[in-house]
């Protein structure tokens, strides 16, 4: 088995088959240590430069195939930008946006994406966000392709204000929405937390 076939086998586990060869070619053109890792609460993917060895990209292994693909390309855009400019430019500045668009447009132009994802991606490219998580509309569309979870879980943004809900073994009361996050009060400690509006939570009771 040659390198192309080896990496085809790896990426086939995580992204739509129509885009496996495209991602493998990017990987072979821009060598990096690439790992699919256990889910992290604060990020979907990560790029870490390493001056003494190979740079590293990690992507959460629980993402649906389309979210994994988009996140991987996001991180490859960081790799390409770093290889060209080092630390001389902003992480999500103009240089990164150019690299990201150049990686995403062939995916859109190939014509194999679901139409709702294609439309959301095109809209997101008008003003590229720092991550797919930062684009609420794109995130909502991608969530449609997640594996079915507990039917009792719903997104925080759909709850009424003052609804009591559980998240990560803690109990909260929903407060005011602040752009992409919601200010919520943990019932036990009365501490305030900003929770992403698309977080999946479980309703406990309502206090209106």
Residue 53, helix vs strand vs coil: coil
Distance of CA 137 to the CA centre of its chain: 13
Q: State the average pLDDT for the chain.
A: 89
Q: Do 102 and 10 share a structural domain?
A: yes
Residue 187 lies in a domain: yes
Residue 20 lies in a domain: yes
Residue 130 lies in a domain: yes
The model carries a pTM of 0.80
Q: Do 82 and 17 share a structural domain?
A: yes
Domain span at residue 177 reads: 153-206
Q: Do 132 and 158 share a structural domain?
A: no
CB 204 within 8 A of CB 171: yes
The pLDDT tens digits for 154-183 are: 889 889 999 999 998 899 999 999 878 899
Count: domains in the chain: 2
What are the beta bridge partners of residue 182?
177, 195
């Amino acid at each position: 088995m040659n390198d192309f076939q080896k990496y085809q086998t790896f990426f086939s586990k995580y992204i739509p088959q129509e885009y496996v060869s495209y991602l493998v070619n990017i990987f072979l053109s821009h060598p990096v240590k690439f790992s699919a890792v256990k889910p992290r609460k604060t990020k979907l993917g990560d790029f870490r430069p390493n001056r003494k060895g190979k740079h590293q990209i990690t992507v959460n292994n629980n993402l649906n195939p389309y979210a994994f693909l988009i996140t991987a390309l996001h991180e490859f855009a960081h790799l390409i930008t770093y290889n060209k400019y080092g630390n001389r430019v902003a992480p999500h500045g103009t240089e990164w946006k150019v690299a990201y668009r150049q990686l995403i447009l062939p995916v859109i132009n190939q014509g194999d994406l679901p139409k709702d994802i294609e439309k959301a991606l095109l809209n997101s490219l008008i003003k590229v966000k720092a991550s797919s998580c930062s684009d609420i509309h794109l995130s909502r569309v991608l969530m449609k392709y997640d594996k079915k979870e507990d039917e009792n879980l719903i997104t925080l943004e759909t709850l009424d204000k003052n609804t009591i809900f559980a998240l990560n073994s803690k109990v909260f009361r929903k407060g005011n929405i602040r752009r992409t996050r919601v200010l919520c009060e943990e019932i036990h400690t009365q501490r305030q937390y900003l929770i992403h509006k698309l977080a999946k939570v479980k309703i406990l009771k309502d206090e209106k």
